[in-house]
Structure 1
Amino acid sequence: MITRRKLIRNLSAVPLLGGLAGTAKALPFLDVSSTAPAKDYFKELGVRTFVNAAGTYTAMTGSLMLPEVLAAIQYASKDFVMLDELQDKVGKRIASLVHSEYAVVTSGAFSAITLGLTGVLTGPDEKKAAAIPHLEGTGMKTEVIMLKAHDIPYAHALKNTGVKVLQVDTREELEKAINDQTAMLFFVNANNFDGKVQVEEFIQIAKAHNLPAMIDCAADVPPVENLWRFTKMGYDMVCFSGGKGIRGPQSAGLLLGAEKYIKPARLSMAPRGNTVGRGMKINKEEILGMMVALEYYLAKDHAKEWKMWEEQIALVGNAAKSVPGVVTEVKVPAVANHIPTLHVSWDEKKIPVTAADLRDRLRKGNPSIEVADGQPGNKYAISITTWMLVPGQEKIVAARLKEVLSQGA
């Protein structure tokens, strides 16, 4: 439970950002003395909590919000504002922070994809926004093209608008598929190296055919530069998750890019009701919390944080490989979840414990610990990240991992 004292202490070390000063005096909303006594709700409900050494998975509720974000959420909860006005002002500030023409806070990267596409389809026409997903007879275009290698489950966000999604392999197939019904080209950055057309060539094709292009970068922060890299590259819309590396609300996201597409997307967002995006409502607390999370993310010392992750990974890795038969390797994914990742594998003859069994033992321990899958097809491997750990928890993970591996030896 975050206490008032901890909030004030944490904020006192932070420079002024977006009008939020790092002192209790400048942040009167930090006075939580009137709140109800703390209760252990998860324990009361019988919900398991755990040490997250796996990563920012939605099933594991993403990341933990910063105290500053929690303070902003509490602040926003105490007054009424007009939703559109808040989106206007927050969007303007976010756009300036990430060198974008326009920005809006969405209810996650998935909704950013859907809403961004609605802006492309409808333009500023409210009647068209109300017609989605029924495109026939409206004059709206009906197709989006993407690479087969990018057919991830989240691409379903495109289909919410009623479009037909065409999948292609090569540049030749892509250009052949373009026709008068093509509304947009869609790219998934996490799968950049899986396809035969990569990120820069893809946008060049879109520009050559005068088509808008959207890129899904849900898990592509860090590095921080990705927040403006793709708009500068020429992508018209870039979609980010807010509740992963940026450490904002798990139910928030960012849609960044060209005003000509994103401003019309607002026609399909709450508070308007007769639209496909009405159920993707995001509240004032999340909007403000997302802005504050972004401000603090941009201001942090990223090199220092990276060094901390490397040190934490080294601690856990050294503990694991001290067990005979265990091999460790540290890798940094080129795209998506670009953070030091520890891969742990072991000789099944020396340690006859499957990864599933090991994960179960870690899960059932005290404290409960979650780790991620290892190499595909290898039943004796797991992977670990430390970026979602509370500092100090790396020692717990190291000790428990060594203990469980040793027990299996």
Structure 2
Amino acid sequence: MKRRDLIKYLSVAPLVGGVVGAGIPFLSANAAVSTAAKRDLIKELGLRTFINAAGTYTTHTASLMHEDVLEAINGSSTHFIMIGDIQDKVGEKIAALCHAESAMVTAGCWSALVLGTAGVLTGTDLKKIAQLPNLDGFQKTQMIVQKAHNIAYVHAPTNTGIEVVEVETAEDLEKAINEKTAMMWFLNLASNEGKIKHEEWIAIAKKHKIPTMIDIAADIPPVQNLWKFNDLGFDLVCVSGGKAIRGPQSAGILMGKADLIKAARLNAPPFGNNIGRGMKVNKEEILGMYAALDHYMKLDHDKEWKDWEARVAVIETAVKSVAGVTTTVTVPPIANHNPLLNIAWDTTKVKMTSDDLALELRNGSPSIEIMKFSPNSINITVFMLKPGEDKIVAKRVQEELSKAS
């Protein structure tokens, strides 16, 4: 029963009460369901909620979605729409926003990395698509990666069976390129550690006509990163959707050259039992991801940053009132780029460890999650706090440090 119909029904209920009781169980049952209190599964299952002063970690369920994202999800959940049509339309919008030729919504950044690599390896050859991760008979089977970039995240593209070839210098890179080279992969998080920077990496790749992919999973903000790497000339760009953009945690974005996105989509659902079969993205997530991106790009990011700094100042001022406590504010240069507050203490004056403090905050009311940094210091981020929660965090951390001093 629609809400307006329910209101109309309830307005005349006293007049028809006898009829309902006597012989129209359908109306009676629906009225009971419609007027029942909403089910609170969090309370029903005994789940702990908390104030997130840690950050957009997967373990902490990343970020909270904006209201318009939830509206997009809920509004699409009551309709059937062909999944390919949604990817087409949403992909066009995302590509336009991010200066790319094409785009698709994926099951997180990891999925974007796998599907993008698969697309590079197979193109639109359906036989090759069905064969992955078995690369028997493939001419191009190698991916070049800088040594400093060859860390855990490389396991995403190697899901396709692609072989990693490690280099350190531009000279190494030139020597490593051969007829088996399918792709060159760049991990933005490690860009300051690698000897070859973005522009040189792209220039060498274009010289040899080799596709490039960059992983910028948690490297937003700044908002400009959403189009910066497309403008630089990377062929594929992979983004997490559920962190600072605040889309569905299980969503991500793959964007770049149209032919590669077309190939990546053929490696993804609903196109058969292929390597991406388990990376299904439902209509609600695709539309929710677009709504989140659209919302994020329209934000006043300067104002948002000042708000973060003000929240940090509230917490910093409170905890520094405790003898033996010192604070430092830094900004991570690449991933999770937002003000980071480190709170440290002299253990001769404050008799507790960071484990002790984390446990007290977790077990308190309300429960608060922070990140332990060292035996006598913690890190706090504020960009996932709801309005007013900075004051709660400030008060609780100050209380626990004071209690131990």
Which residues in structure 2 correspond to 1:45-194 (within 5 Å)? 45-137=45-137, 139-194=138-193
Residue pairs, 1:1-400, within 5 angstroms? 37-137=37-137, 139-374=138-373, 378-400=374-396
Are residues 143 and 34 of structure 1, via their aligned partners in 2, closer, same or farther at CA, if it must alter by over 3 Å?
farther
Secondary structure, aligned partner of 1:185: strand
Amino acid at match of 1:314: A
Q: Higher mean Cα deviation, 317-326 or 40-49?
A: 40-49
How far has the Cα of 1:231 moved from its partner?
0.7
Using the size of structure 2 for normalisation, the TM-score is 0.89
- Please list the CA deviations of residues 205-232 of structure 1 after superposition, one character each: whole Å capped at 9, or x if unmatched: 2222221110000001111100000010
Is residue 401 from structure 1 mapped to residue 397 from structure 2 by the alignment?
yes
Q: CA deviation at 1:122?
A: 0.9
305-314 vs 189-198, which deviates more? 189-198
2:220–2:336: 8 Å Cα contact kept in structure 1?
yes
- Quote the offset at 1:201 in angstroms: 2.4
The alignment yields a C-alpha RMSD, in angstroms, of 1.6
Shift in CA distance, 34/203, structure 1 to aligned 2, threshold 3 Å? farther
Q: 1:221 to 1:282 in 2, by over 3 A?
A: same
Q: 1:175 to 1:354 in 2, by over 3 A?
A: farther
Contact 1:158–1:165, Cα closer than 8 Å, also in 2: no
The structural deviation recorded for 1:292 is 0.6
* Distance in 1, Cα, partners of 2:300 & 2:34: 34
How far, CA to CA, are the matches of 2:41 and 2:80 in structure 1? 27
Cα drift, residue 353 of structure 1: 1.4
8 Å contact kept, 1:122–1:140:
no
- 1:36 CA drift (Å): 6.5
Query: Contact 2:248/2:289 (CA < 8 Å) preserved in 1?
Result: yes
1:181-206 C-alpha deviation (Å, 9 max, x unpaired): 11111111111112222223222222
CA–CA distance in structure 2, aligned partners of residues 134 and 352 of structure 1: 57
CA drift at 1:146 = 1.0
* Paired-residue identity, %: 55
d(CA) in 1 for partners of 2:285, 2:69: 9
Aligned residue for 1:280, secondary structure, equals: coil
Please give the per-residue CA displacement for 1:115-137, whole angstroms capped at 9, x wherever unaligned.
00111111111111111101112
Preserved contact between residue 220 and residue 336 of structure 1 (Cα < 8 Å):
yes
CA contact (8 A) 1:141 1:182 kept: yes
Q: CA deviation at 1:380?
A: 1.1
Q: Do the aligned residues in 1 keep the contact of 2:185 with 2:212 (CA within 8 Å)?
A: yes
Please report how far the alpha carbon of residue 45 of structure 1 lies from its aligned counterpart in structure 2 after TM superposition: 1.4
Residue 40 of structure 1 deviates from its aligned partner by: 2.5
Q: Which residue of 1 aligns with 2:25?
A: none
Cα separation, partners in 2 of 1:34 and 1:255, compared to 1, 3 Å: farther
Tell me if the contact between 1:77 and 1:285 (Cα under 8 Å) persists in the aligned partners.
Answer: yes
Distance in 2 between residues matched to 1:73 and 1:37, nearest whole Å = 22
**Aligned length, in residue pairs:** 374
Q: 1:99: how far off?
A: 1.5
Contact 2:101 2:256 in 1 (8 A): yes
Deviations 1:239-283 (A, max 9, x none): 000000111000000011111211111101111122100100000
Contact 1:110 1:157 in 2 (8 A): yes
Cα drift, residue 37 of structure 1: 3.2
Runs in 1 of length 4+ with deviation above 3 angstroms?
33-37
Q: CA deviation at 1:35?
A: 9.1
Q: Is contact 2:98–2:230 with CA below 8 Å preserved after alignment?
A: no
Structure 1 unpaired stretches of 5+: 5-32
Task: Look up the SS of the partner of 1:240 in the other structure.
Answer: strand
Find the aligned partners of 2:143 and 2:204 in 1 and give their Cα distance.
14
> How much does 1:140 deviate?
4.3
Distance (Å, rounded) in 2 between the aligned partners of 1:140 and 1:392: 58
Q: Where does structure 2 lack aligned partners over 5 or more consecutive residues?
A: 4-32
Cross-structure match for 1:10: none
**Closer, same or farther in 2 for the Cα pair 1:245/1:140, shift >3 Å?**
farther
State how far apart, in whole Å, the 2-side matches of 1:284 and 1:271 are. Answer: 12
CA apart distance, 1:34:
5.4
